[in-house]
Amino acid sequence: MNVLIYGHSQAQPTGMGDDMVKALGKAKVKVKRLGLQGRNDGGLFKEIGKLGDIGGYDKVLLYGYGNDSTREQTQKLVAHLGPQRTILIVPPINLDRPNVGEPGPRIEAQKKRVRELSELLKIPVFGIWGGAKDFSKDKIHMRSYSEAGKPLVQRLLAELGLPYDAAVAAMLGKEQSGGSSYTGATGAAPSMPAPAAATPASAGMPMGLFIGLVAAAGLAAFFFLRRKKQGD
């Protein structure tokens, strides 16, 4: 798999996009990342030439809809990147940021943003929020490897069909994602085969002991029948 991480400053090394670079690296996935400071989706569209052959990417993680982007700009950008392979992550919300409104209405606005963009673009869209500890000193950019960002990383891995931690992925609220194929079941992560169900005779018994007892019982039956035959 070949994945492109593209977007505004949240995609840069100090931002939340770095979480995915590390996670994809662990999964042995080829990754290219380009984060451009201060660009809205119109600006990201103008910079597409820096990406080279877009057709060479299986999936695109787009950190977009920031810096006063319009929906028209986002539509144009997604159409060029390819909606069949694009996943949009909208800017995170810092619930402790002062002078920007109460947390409750801002969370509801983020949920609405995710829902409406997924319906408009027909692609998976994710939007998260966190507290002061999850953000850098500017109170705008979510830090790399923040606690609030961990569930998103696992959900994105699931969306890409890669191994992921289902328990952590389940921490991402349903309304924080839209247009996702994620079912919330056991997950796509490969796991060790489940042990075969124990038979009533062997339940709770070490296999070696069980086999030994079976063999001993067989020998006892053999000698019993042999003695019985000699007695006849």
Q: What percent of the chain has pLDDT over 70?
A: 79
Residue whose token pair is 């569209």:
45
Cα 1 to Cα 13: distance, rounded to the nearest angstrom: 21
pLDDT at 82 over 50: yes
pLDDT at 232 over 90: no
First and final C-alpha spacing in the chain: 76
Report the 10 Å Cβ neighbour count for 118.
19
Model pTM score: 0.79
Domain 2-178 has CATH 3.40.50.10140: no
Cα–chain-centroid distance for residue 86?
14
In the chain, where are the structural domains located? 2-178, 192-232
Cα 40 to Cα 48: distance, rounded to the nearest angstrom: 13
Mean pLDDT confidence for 13-33: 94
Q: Please, what's the b/e burial string for 185-198 (b: 16 or more CB within 10 A of its CB; e: otherwise)?
A: eebbeeeeeeeeee
User: How confident is residue 60, by pLDDT bands cut at 50, 70 and 90?
Assistant: very high
Could you report the per-residue pLDDT of 108-121, keeping only the tens digit for each? 999 999 999 999 99
Could you report the per-residue pLDDT of 93-107, keeping only the tens digit for each? 999 999 999 999 999
